[in-house]
Structure 1
Amino acid sequence: MSTKHFINDPTHLVNTALHSLTLTNPNVALDSDNKIIYRRPSDAPQQVSIISGGGSGHEPSFAAMVGPGMLSAAVAGTIFASPSAEQVRNGIMSRVDTEKGVLVVVMNYTGDILNFGMAVEKAIAAGQAVEMVVVGDDVGVGRKKTGKVGRRGIAGTVLVLKIAGALAAQGRSLEEVAKVARLTAANIVSVGASLEHVHVPGRVIDSSEALAPEQVEVGMGIHNEPGSSREKLELPQLVERMLTQLLDQSDKDRAFLNVNSNEVVLLINNLGGVSVLELGGITTEVVNQLSDKYNIRPVRIISGTFMTSLNGQGFSITLLNVVNTDIGGPGMIELLDAPSEVTGWSAPMQKTSWEAKNTATRTDTAGTNKETQPSGLQMDAKHATSVLTNALERVIAAEPEVTKYDTIVGDGDCGIGLKRGAEGKFTKTPHCLNVL
């Protein structure tokens, strides 16, 4: 568990992070008293306003998803704690357009349900047209443990926000936007996994929560909630376990959704601390197993950082079972592909690129068929092999020391580069000598 932070005051951290969004997106403003990021008034046509939010620490959800094509406002609490009902009420009543109605989308957590729900009831009592949609997509904990509380909301919520936001931007009614949001939420399953719990700035460290070095927690929530198990699993086995929890219809404790659509959307979400390089490897593993073991080939593959758990060393897998929206169009895929002007939705591929299904490649074979001509050089192959082997072994042995000094004066890759080159020469040397 990493306990070092650049900003250790959680209040200052949340406030400055919210303010930063007004610096990077000219479309949004900040109500600092209520921690609300909202779209600035404009001449754009009236539309259904969409509000979401929850505890901070899940960025870019939700505040960075405010802007044309997604949210109208997002209400933030402190780290991992719901905003108050009064904050949310202010968001509904005074920070968004209400002429065409307001849709509130919230994840299934007790504090969020209570506070957002209370604010919605107050707004309705004041005469506002407001609908509320609750998203619970996590299958990491089964029915027996969740009981009446139901599934937790995690990264699948982002797909609900994107689809609902795009539909609202097209001028559809509150009834239609709420209907499609609920339909989307009902057709999403997600599960996460993490190598470690996260440390909240300003809180006392609880070492009892730490995972053993070789363990991964399957099904861990986005607030350090326990998952289904802690095990020693390599990535292929971990992905297999996660996909089983998502797709196995024989597991009645977790068979929340039969993913049987001809069109499936895959979302790979970084919980905050996974490198871009490693997330790419994870994405490839998930896509390969979906194809090989389930014959599922997603029509959209979205990989990136959408809903975090601070700097969590984990990822989540979300599957959207695409179904007919039953509102006379547009469909879910079209709404996902629709443009949005927010900093938190990082899926830049256009519909035309996906549908082109371009498989063309470039194969440069120039010069590969030319025969190597003898050089005429004479040498003692046995002696040359001995000298080269000795030199290469010394290069390999020197790697730690070279790396040490290159880390001081360079970028630390010289030693490993020399070592790999030397190891490669061991396989090439006999061939080279035969040619000579």
Structure 2
Amino acid sequence: MSKKIAKLLASIQRKEDVAIESILYLDPSDDADHSCAVCLANVGNEPNPFDVSSILAVLAGLRGFQTLKVARGKSYSFAVFASPLDAQTAFTHLDNAFFAATSDTSVDASDILFPHHLVSAAVKSQHPTGRIIHAFKAKRIPFSDSDTLTKPSDILAAIPGLHIVHDFISEEEEVRLLEGMEQHPWISLSERQVQHHGFVFDYDSNHIDFSKDPGQLPAWCQFLVQRMHDTLRQLMLQYPHDFDFRGFNQLTLNRYPPGSGISPHVDTHTRFDSPITSVSLLSPVQMEFRTLYYSDPTSPVTTTTPQLQPTHKTLHVQLPPRSICFMAGASRFGWEHGIRARKADVVNCTRVERALRVSLTFRGVRIREEEVKCDCVWDGLCDAKIAGGAKPDRLKEVDVGVNRHGVVGGKP
């Protein structure tokens, strides 16, 4: 055996060892006779990601296959079947099989999946990105919320108050906005560039800096502002309790290179209206929304009950280019939002590479002091209800250099 082939086989073995080790805590069990799920170790996004569409081509040929659950940053996935019998058949077919992990989806499934009794050093050497699949009958799927929400209706049903509109602007209008931004200087931060227009908010004192003339929002975005107002009028008629809106008077632009992100945060309750509105340009991105819930179903999910330990519920929302996101109601005040720092997202089993992304975040700053209040029920996220108006610790240091406290620093 040549050194090259020996090195290749050793690499495949290391992948196999890592994959098996990663699922030990899941307590995979061969006695899960009534389960419809099969855990596939070594078929995931880390540490050796691949085009998931190729394994889907294999699974689609198995009786009763329904879906593949792929979690971010995991080296395993779960294939779900229509019945326990279908799952058992798939388990027998997949366990210890060699998967070529090709990116060519046109090849026949029999050419990329080799039963364990046909696997040889020669087969492995022909497919350097391949891997051995270890199948386990799964009693549970630990990341049931791993699917990415893509349809606006599904998003609104899952996260109340979160209104997404696809293709809110045209490609020509996208170009016009990008060209307009270049009329102003960008401020460089550690991982992105920003611009601020309109009112200046002093994040240290939690007040508006009235010493600076806010001016008007740029002329090149006025067509967008008018369209947002028209859309909001319709939404406010349908969901009057979600909105407390007086008009946009602040705009923040963010230019994100691939791989950058922003920590989970909530925009200051007392100083900004509902909604917080964001328009995405160029690259798609996956945004995470998380809220707190408690193990006791009788406990309000909106309070900070010291006797109960809260758990984060996290959902993933896909923001395509030229879409708009209105965060109102619960999504505005009761859910934190952020973006993971990574080069690619997994959108329902498909790896989507990130590129340069630009966002425009519009806010309505509450100018009159009598308007600076909040009577929401999300105590743990509300600056009005935390002693002394302090910010929750987990929201600090989001945007070093612009927002020392970070409550609104991380902008989508």
User: So what's the TM-score if we normalise by structure 1?
Assistant: 0.24
Q: Which has the higher Rg, Structure 1 or Structure 2?
A: 1
User: So what's the TM-score if we normalise by structure 2?
Assistant: 0.25
Structure with the bigger percentage of helix: 1
